[in-house]
């Protein structure tokens, strides 16, 4: 795993939350919402990945490093480790090439058997599964409601600090605002109106 970043988690920590749009074509829009904690949206980034492709890691790295906000981002927050269907994000590489800690957020613990079964229909299935498993240990986090916990994986940051970042930024619901807003923007731009849950 990447080198752990030692930093104080402030209420207005700069977070880039990234989510994808609906799977309505082979080119999928991904949106980054650059937030101060869970209160202030300071910028929006956009890129494209291939549906069920293998380019999500590269595109996210490029999106982060080309951004004028790059030097201010303290945490990259992902909605799961696959985008655009089963286009996996290598969080170890993402952390290593950006030098920014990565936190993956999930509503539920992934069913790896189901994922492996779905991947059997795609090329490079072993490589995809390796990237998904590389994201590491899953930790439970209570943000707003004990009945609706979220689950995280992280790289380049201690799980306790990652959990604190998730809690600080979950101001409106049990999902951190950077991810919730990235989802609203991505689906709204592509579908004409935002839909579904982040």
* 65-117 pLDDT, tens digit each: 999 999 999 999 999 999 999 999 999 999 999 999 999 999 999 999 999 99
pLDDT at site 6: 65
pLDDT, one tens digit per residue, over 145-183 is 888 899 999 999 999 999 999 999 999 999 999 999 999
Q: Within its chain, how far is the Cα of 25 from the centroid?
A: 21
Is the pLDDT score of 198 beyond 80?
no
Strand partners, 78: 18, 104
Assigned fold of 14-188: archaeoglobus fulgidus dsm 4304 fold (3.30.2170)
Q: Within its chain, how far is the Cα of 33 from the centroid?
A: 11
DSSP labels, 130-194 = HHHHHT---EEE-SS-TTS-EEEEEESS-HHHHHHHHHHH-SSSSS-HHHHHHHHHHHHHHHSS-
What is the pTM (predicted TM-score) of this model? 0.93
Domain residue extents for the chain: 14-188
Q: How far apart are CA 125 and CA 70, in angstroms?
A: 32
């Amino acid at each position: 795993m990447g080198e752990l970043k030692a930093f104080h988690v402030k209420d207005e920590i700069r977070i880039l939350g990234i989510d994808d749009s609906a799977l309505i074509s082979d080119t999928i829009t991904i949106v980054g919402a650059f937030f101060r904690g869970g209160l202030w949206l300071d910028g929006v980034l956009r890129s494209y990945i291939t549906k069920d492709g293998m380019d999500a890691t590269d595109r996210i790295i490029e999106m982060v490093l080309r951004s004028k906000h790059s030097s201010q981002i303290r945490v990259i927050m992902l909605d799961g480790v696959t985008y655009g269907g089963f286009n996996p994000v290598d969080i170890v590489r993402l952390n290593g090439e950006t030098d920014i800690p990565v936190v993956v957020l999930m509503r539920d613990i992934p069913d790896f058997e189901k994922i492996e079964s779905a991947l059997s229909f795609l090329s490079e299935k072993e490589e995809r599964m390796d990237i998904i498993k590389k994201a590491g240990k899953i930790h439970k986090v209570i943000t707003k409601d004990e009945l609706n916990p979220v689950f995280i994986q992280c790289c380049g940051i201690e799980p306790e600090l990652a959990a604190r970042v998730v809690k600080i930024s979950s101001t409106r619901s049990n999902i951190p605002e950077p991810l919730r807003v990235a989802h609203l923007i991505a689906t709204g731009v592509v579908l004409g109106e935002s839909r579904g849950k982040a």
